[in-house]
Every structure is written in structure tokens, then in C-alpha cells.
A = this chain, B = another copy of it.
Amino acid sequence: MDLHGGNIYKHLRESGRQMLDYSSNINPLGVSKNLKKQLRKNLDILTTYPDPYYIELRKSIANFNDINIENVIVGNGATEILFLFIRGIKPKNVLLVSPTFSEYERALKTVKAKISYFKVEEKKDFHIDVENLIEKLKKNNYDLIVMCNPNNPTGKFLELDRLKKLIDEVDRKKTLLFLDETFIEFIEKWREKTALNIKSKNVFIMRALTKFFAIPGLRLGYGLCTNENILKKMNSEKEPWSVNNFASMAASILLSDKEYIDKSYKWIKKEKKFLFNKLIKIKNIKVYETETNFILIKLLDRRAENLCKKMEERNILIRNASNFKFLNENYIRIAIKDRKNNKIFLKCFAQCLEVKE
């Protein structure tokens, strides 16, 4: 089983087939026309090294988030931001809100951190119980809490008032909170809901242009933080020129592309509802409500592995979610795409589930 979704290459190599990829969570609108136009025009920017300080890039991101450029750090995808943070901070005792994205644990292992887990319960439909989480912080001395919001793979989002309570406790305990907000732009009115609205020196926010702007192949992530000390530690670990010139150029074009952004909001609102309402009518599965662009599903009568295989035979990739901590062999995660593909997916999914195991 693959550690992550989206490995379409293996299938292309092994069977020569192009797959419909419901295993990775990318905006189906694809690469924006504006970006493509500018890329075509500016191919020669490859002949120069990137700006080692990425001033223009960081300015665009600072403007987009209405903060100072000093509070922005950029990376080769969110992944570099995560690894830089962990290598910079070198946490010893970490609480991981789980099930969640597996790279946090991989990054933490490179610095040999002790990892504890706060289990988000299935019986609460994977909603985070903030009161319990705060209790756990009070009783223990963690130097870092890692949380993904909205969370991958559960799709659940902790609203600002409840997040505020958590951050108050983080501030009181003088611990740190690493908050992965790489899927937040898919949430309606996300600007009112981001942790950026809560001023705290103990919070580090990770974002990416990967998912919302459909450029996972270009690699551009960033971090937002008002704690100079954290940024200084990260920069001391940072490799020069890690963001390529195309990615560096893309930010100002994409972040100001109102048309693409509006179209995306309309799409996600409509398709999330459509897909969810169709899915809940299918027997023998449990569908968890989502706040973002993917849906977690529990199979009640079969193993994820078997279903994934059946779907693959029909040229559709879905994410076997059984290797997420605290999930089991019955979980899958699917992306939300455009209407045409969602219909193809639904038809195939229903057919595969009709066949008794």
C-alpha cells in the first residue's frame, strides 16, 4: 500500500493505464489560465537562481494574508515547511491529534521526538473534543502539539471559538502549536476562521498553494508565524533556493486570481453537497460529513483493500485509509471532483459495492 494517495505513476508503469485519481485531493479546475499564460511567457526565468530571500514571493503571501513579510517563510511544498519546523524546533515530547496526515510522524522521527497521541473518536464522528484535549495538555508537559485543521483524512474542522480555547491553554502552558491549514481555503468564509485571527507567539500555521490552486507538481508551501525565534531556527536549517522560479512567480498570479477563486468556491459548495447526498444513500457504508474537499468513508461489510482493488480494475484510484493511525482496514478516503467525474465515480463505486464479498 502507498504511504500517500495520488501515485498514478505506478499504475501507468505497471498497466499503461491512465487512472481517474480520487485518492489525492486537488481542485478539479486545474491549473489557472492566467498562470499558464504567464508560464509560457516567462520560460527564460529558469536561467537565474531564485532570490535567496524570496522577497517578492513572501510579499505576495503577506499581502494575501494581511500580515508582515517578516512573518512569512516559504518552502518547496508544505512538506519542506513541516520538516524545517521540526528540525528547527527539535521537539522532545509531542502530542499528535490523530488520525491525521502521516508525514508529521515521519518528520518527528527524524529528530527522535517522543510521540503521544490524542485520539479523535469515531463515536463522536471524528469531531475533536477540545475540552478533553485541553485536559490532556494540562496533565502533561508537551513541548509541541501538532494538529491538522481541517483534518486529513476526517474532513473535520475546529471552529475559531473552540480553537481559541485550545490556544489559550497552549499560551498558558508555554508550549507550541503547529497547525496545518493546507486545506482551509476549501472552507466557506475561511478568512474568518483561520487561526491567524488569534494572536499568539506560540502558534505556527502551515499553508500550501498545492491543493486549492491544483499545482501539487509545482511545489509551493508557506508558514505564517509571529515568533521570530521559531523562524530564525527554521532559517538556520533551510537550504538555499528550495522554491523554484516558476513556483515563486506563481504566488502573486494565483493569489490575486479572483475569477479562479470564486469559481472554486462555487464548485466546492455545489459538489460537496451533491456527492455527500448521493453517498449517504448507498448501503453498507458510513459517510462522515466533511468541511473540505475530501470525504472519509467507513465500509461496513468489506475491507478497503478489496474495494480499492475493484475500483482500480475500473481505472479509478481511491485512498485506502487503513494505514492512518486509529483507523482500521475498513476506511477509505475519496476526493471531491467536478460533476462529470463525480458521476462516473458514483456509478462505479455503487457497482463495486453491490457485489457481495
Write the residues of chain A forming the contact surface with B, with a CB cutoff of 8 angstroms: 2-4, 6-9, 13, 21, 24, 26, 30-31, 36, 39-40, 43-53, 55-56, 76-77, 79-80, 83, 87, 103, 110, 214-219, 236-237, 239-242, 244-247
| B217 engages A45 (CB within 8 Å) | yes
Evaluate whether A76 and B242 lie within 8 angstroms (CB atoms) in the complex, with A8-B48, A48-B6 already known: yes
Q: Which of B13, B55, B214 contacts A46 (CB 8 A)?
A: B214
A24 to B49, CA, bound (A): 8
Residue of B nearest to A52 (CB): B7
Closest beta carbon of chain B to A326's beta carbon, Å: 22
CA distance A13 to B54 in the complex (A): 12
Complex Cα gap A192–B46 (Å): 30
Residue contact A77 to B217, C-beta cutoff 8 Å:
no
Q: A240-B4, A242-B80 are in contact. Are A47 and B110 (CB under 8 A)?
A: no
Bound together, the chains give a CA A199 to CA B249 distance in angstroms of 43
Q: How far is the CA of A246 from the CA of B245 in the complex (A)?
A: 11
Task: Please report the C-alpha to C-alpha distance between residue A83 and residue B43 in the assembled complex, in whole angstroms.
Answer: 28
CA distance in complex: A24, B51 (Å): 13
Contacts of A30 in B (CB 8 A): 44, 47
Cβ-closest chain B residue relative to A54? B9
Interfacial chain B residues near A53, Cβ < 8 Å:
9
Contacts of A77 in B (CB 8 A): 239, 241-242
Of A48, A53, A87, A245, the most chain B CB neighbours within 10 A belong to A48
A83: chain B residues within 8 A (beta carbon) = 239
In the bound assembly, the distance between CA atoms of A40 and B26 in angstroms comes to: 22
A-B contact pairs, 12 of them (CB 8 A): A4-B49, A9-B55, A36-B43, A40-B43, A47-B215, A50-B219, A76-B242, A79-B241, A80-B239, A216-B241, A217-B244, A218-B246
Chain B minimum-CB-distance residue to A43: B36
Q: Is the CB of A9 within 8 A of B43?
A: no
